[in-house]
Amino acid sequence: MTTQVGIEKIGVYPCSLALPMASLCEARGRNPSDIVGAMMIDERSLNPLWEDPVTMAVNAANSILTNEDRSRVELLIVASESAVDYEKPMSTWVQRYVGLPSNCRNFEIKHACYGGTAALQMAAYWLASGFTRGAKALLVTTDQSREHLGKPWEFVMGSGATAVLLSNEPCMLELVLGRDGYWTNEVSDLIRPTGKVETGNSETSLVSYMEGLEGAFEHFLSRVPEAKNYDEYFQRHIYHMPFGGMAWRAHRTLLRFGGEVSTKDAWANFERKGLAALQYVRRMGSTYSSSIFIGMLGLIDGTADLEPGEMISFFSYGSGCCAEFYCGKAGADAKNAAAAAGLRQKLDVRQVVSVPEYETIETQRTAWADAGDYEVPLNGAGGCYPQFYEGRHLLTFRGMAEFYRQYAWS
């Protein structure tokens, strides 16, 4: 049995628009320190009307795959809670537009923000089975928020997609198989009951997150008791981030499993071992299943003294709910793999939109949610189509024709 499996490379599509939190706070009469400081979010990604979860997924995958990679992908999993159809899986569009082989098992998986981790584990154990004959697995997480204009949680919403290539050559991150713990409990904390609505109780969700964190970690400890000394066993930490501030809360909670620790000491520990994971999430907002991978990218990219083989902990949570605590080792080429993703540069070149422009996009997207015939104009979003899309071979969503989705290359 082949047991060395993990992440070979990663790509992120962070969308082309950015909404600064300072602008949104001013428009909603909120103190920016409540959002930028306590919640640790500076801006959020926004996709124009000609982007949807399919186009983001395809553009993320195409940013990292070579033709040789494509020829070896035999498993494709798309994790999302933003499905564009209640029957047809988005993975079929991804398979087509990414140019993957016909002999490719593919499906879409949904489990709120936990879906990406569920797909990661499924793909990893498939690779570890020893029956894959050199094949690779492609995992894509892709999500966009629904309209939340004026809602208290509007500030943490976001969008984006991540493509993760897994193989038996885990130069970025080797997963430590069998060292994991999980916890589940049915709760309707956050839900998407229709194609237009994303709702729930944020307080219930925060409580459920923390219950899942403790439950999954206790299960992990029952299998890996030596990890009771949390600070010594792991050199780095990554947590699911509906917003950056949750990572700090989670870290402080798990540090206390090993005994009492002051808030000052806990923060110093977090600064050293986990704060870098927030750098890109702070600029994108909630990216759902993608946040665990964007956190990993930020941690590797932003930790100057990261060494190959360092043990990294991961905590993933999805509403509804399921939580998992697992671990991996920094790969031999982790720093170069993170740099190749070029996420900082992609974030820097996004076009900043005003609050009225953002509201126009969200309102129109909601109005089209159940419509079967419409054409998406390419002249909105501050006129960014010529600069960011034209001639760049990015997949774009052009509208609906008798309920059939229309896609075209830019």
- Whether the pLDDT of residue 3 is over 80: the answer is no
User: Class assignment of domain 6-172+344-409?
Assistant: alpha beta
Do 6-172+344-409 and 178-334 share a fold? yes
Domain boundaries, the chain: 6-172+344-409, 178-334
Residue 196 CB burial class (10 angstroms; 0-12, 13-18, ≥19): middle
Angle, CA 49 vertex, CA 44 and CA 53 arms, to 5°: 70
Which residue reads 């071979």 in tokens? Answer: 393
- Distance, CA of 362 to CA of 141 (rounded, Å): 21
- CATH number for 178-334 (one of 2.60.40.10, 3.40.47.10, 3.30.360.10, 3.40.309.10): it is 3.40.47.10
| pLDDT band for position 257 (cuts 50, 70, 90) | confident
Contact (Cβ atoms closer than 8 angstroms) between residue 369 and residue 195:
yes
What is the model's pLDDT at position 373? 98
- Distance, CA of 379 to CA of 390 (rounded, Å): 12
Higher pLDDT, 179 or 259: 179
- pLDDT tens-digit map of 11-28: 999 999 999 999 999 999
- Distance, CA of 314 to CA of 31 (rounded, Å): 32
The model's pTM = 0.96
Angle, CA 84 vertex, CA 140 and CA 405 arms, to 5°: 110
What is the model's pLDDT at position 258? 77
Q: Which residues are known to be catalytic?
A: 81, 113, 240
Tokens at residue 400, please?
Answer: 């609906």
> For residue 209, how many other CB atoms are within 10 A of its CB?
23
Which residue reads 């700090």 in tokens? Answer: 248
- Distance, CA of 48 to CA of 365 (rounded, Å): 9
- Within 8 A by CB and 6+ apart from 349, the residues are none
- Distance, CA of 292 to CA of 308 (rounded, Å): 20
| pLDDT band for position 348 (cuts 50, 70, 90) | very high
What is the model's pLDDT at position 381? 86
